[in-house]
């Protein structure tokens, strides 16, 4: 009976779900960069995008379900947004020749997200 009550108390985590999808997509992106792209610069951009997407996706998958409070949730959503902007801009540039002007915005968003996560860790 304890297990049933505990199970109902747990809520699905959108952040953890999106983080896991992001990390899984990063594995595919890295594989594509290695096997489907011949241009060295495009490979480099795709691998960098995959590395950032995987690392931040893993963080979101691990911490998403445990996020508490407004600052904690905001920090993780900023990590998600920053990753999508940074890695998405690099991948879009490598795959479809899109401008990469959103990469610096994404990088800055990532830095703010990590700073908020650090502040939130001290607030506990």
* Domain spans in the chain, listed from the N-terminal domain onward: 14-123
Residue 3 has pLDDT above 60, yes or no: no
Q: What is the pLDDT of residues 4-22, one digit of tens each?
A: 545 545 688 999 999 999 9
Q: What is the pLDDT of residues 18-49, one digit of tens each?
A: 999 999 999 999 999 999 999 999 999 999 99
Contacts of 47 (CB under 8 A, 6+ apart): 30, 33, 34
DSSP 75-112: HHHHHHHHHHHHHHHHHHHHHH----TTHHHHHHHHHH
């Amino acid at each position: 009976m304890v297990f049933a009550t505990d199970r109902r108390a747990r809520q699905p985590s959108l952040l953890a779900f999106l983080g896991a999808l992001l990390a899984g997509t990063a594995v595919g992106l890295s594989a594509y960069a290695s096997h489907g792209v011949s241009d060295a610069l495009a490979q480099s951009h795709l691998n960098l995008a995959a590395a950032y997407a995987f690392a931040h996706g893993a963080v979101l998958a691990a911490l998403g379900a445990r996020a508490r409070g407004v600052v904690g949730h905001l920090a993780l959503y900023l990590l998600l947004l920053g990753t999508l902007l940074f890695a998405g801009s690099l991948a879009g540039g490598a795959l479809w020749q899109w401008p990469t002007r959103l990469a610096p915005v994404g990088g800055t968003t990532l830095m703010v997200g990590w700073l908020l996560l650090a502040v939130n860790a001290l607030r506990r």
